Amino acid sequence: MAEQIPFTIAENLFSKLTSFASEEIGLVYGFKNDLRRLQTTLSTIKAILLDAEEKQEQSHAVKDWIKRLKDVVYDADDLLDDVATEGLRRKVEGQGRMVRKVCDFFSSSNQIAFRFKMGHRIKDIKKRLDDVAKDISTFGFIASNQGVANMQVMNNWRETDSFVLKSEFIGREADKEKIIESLLSPNNQSNVSIVAIVGFGGLGKTALAQLVFNDEKVENCFDLKKWVCISEESNVQMLVKMILKSATSDEVLNWPLEQLQIRLRQCLEGKKYLLVLDDVWKVNYKIWGQLRKYLMVGAIGSKILVTTRNKSVALDMDVDSPYELGGLTED
């Protein structure tokens, strides 16, 4: 039986996001930018829903994709209802503080708790919706021109960085210590070795890599630390530029590959470095082989930390024992 795509609720959710992002409530709770990003991602997904509906008849994978979309859309709709209810209660409180119970409910501690809880829910929904949208290219869904434009914007927003608030990330201490142990252990066969974190979308691979990247032991161990988020469309020249932009202040926009690779080797040669390649989706052997050649000039103990959803990607990059990240337990 075909999954019914929630066109109506998707339209309603889009309208709510538009309203919430522009109204005071989004600003009051600090959610304005997150809501706009959700809106853009949802707009991209809406553009291919009709094509997805047709293709699900021939593909169980597409049917599962639609179910994932339905789940996250319903959760997002519930979240916005909760935020709207809270906004209404704030207005009631502001109209004379009529009932003592209401005043107690809206203590400053309750307001902080609400923001914290909603912030985590929005972050979770955004990540899940991004994961759904990211799989669009896998199925070859046909989107409108507007949908393609939104996808380009959305991809820019999915770019990651090395910063993480440690207080907001719990439950991965054991995983963190194991990755750090791998990074600090001596290399067996070459100056530069590769460590990989593998796991499906939403498990927290990037956040774990961020925690490791910012750990004091790691900070003290390496001469140079750089973070690069990998695009699916990356070529050698683009990758070298991204690494150089992270490692130097050089203006490398119009440099040819020859000049780029010379500068990259100069930057890394003789230094014990850590390079994070975040969110690697696939391996082009020619591109990876060429880039790896440039990266092998680091000092003994240099490491490349890769995050990916696919174990095959890690193996293709010559990682002996990828670290497979499991789900968090309720404890």
For the segment 291-311, what is each residue's pLDDT rounded down to a tens digit?
A: 999 999 999 999 999 999 888
Both structure tokens of 116 = 């914290």
Q: What are phi and psi of 5, to 5 degrees?
A: -75, 130
Maximum mean pLDDT: which of 1-10, 192-201, 211-220: 211-220
CA distances from 202 to 39, 80, 214, 245 (A): 19, 21, 21, 28
Regarding pTM above 0.85, the answer is no
User: For position 302, what pLDDT does the model report?
Assistant: 96
> What secondary structure letter does DSSP report for 190?
S
User: For position 19, what pLDDT does the model report?
Assistant: 63
> What secondary structure letter does DSSP report for 186?
P
Contact by Cβ (8 Å): 157, 37: yes
Question: 323-324 and 224-229: which strand pairing?
Answer: unpaired
Alpha-carbon distance of 10 to 77, in angstroms, equals 9
At the topology level, CATH places domain 166-324 in Rossmann fold (3.40.50)
2 against 19, higher pLDDT: 19
User: For position 232, what pLDDT does the model report?
Assistant: 62
Q: Where exactly does CATH 3.40.50.300 map onto the chain?
A: 166-324
Contact by Cβ (8 Å): 9, 45: no
For the segment 247-270, what is each residue's pLDDT rounded down to a tens digit?
A: 666 666 678 889 999 999 999 999
User: For position 300, what pLDDT does the model report?
Assistant: 94
> What average pLDDT does this structure show over 183-210?
87
Alpha-carbon distance of 215 to 78, in angstroms, equals 37
Identity of the amino acid at 213: F
User: For position 273, what pLDDT does the model report?
Assistant: 96
Alpha-carbon distance of 284 to 293, in angstroms, equals 14
Average pLDDT, the chain: 78
State the pLDDT confidence band at 168, using cuts at 50, 70 and 90: low
Both structure tokens of 192 = 């530069």
For the segment 116-154, what is each residue's pLDDT rounded down to a tens digit?
A: 788 788 888 888 888 888 888 777 777 644 444 444 444
Both structure tokens of 28 = 């009051």
84 against 180, higher pLDDT: 180
Both structure tokens of 77 = 């709709």
pLDDT over 90 for what percent of the chain?
Answer: 27
Alpha-carbon distance of 328 to 307, in angstroms, equals 18
How many CA atoms are closer than 13 Å to the CA of 327, on its beta-carbon side?
5
Both structure tokens of 314 = 């890690």
- The owner of tokens 């990682």 is 319
Q: Which H/E stretch holds residue 53?
A: helix 49-55
Identity of the amino acid at 259: Q
Q: What are phi and psi of 273, to 5 degrees?
A: -120, 160
> What average pLDDT does this structure show over 94-123?
61
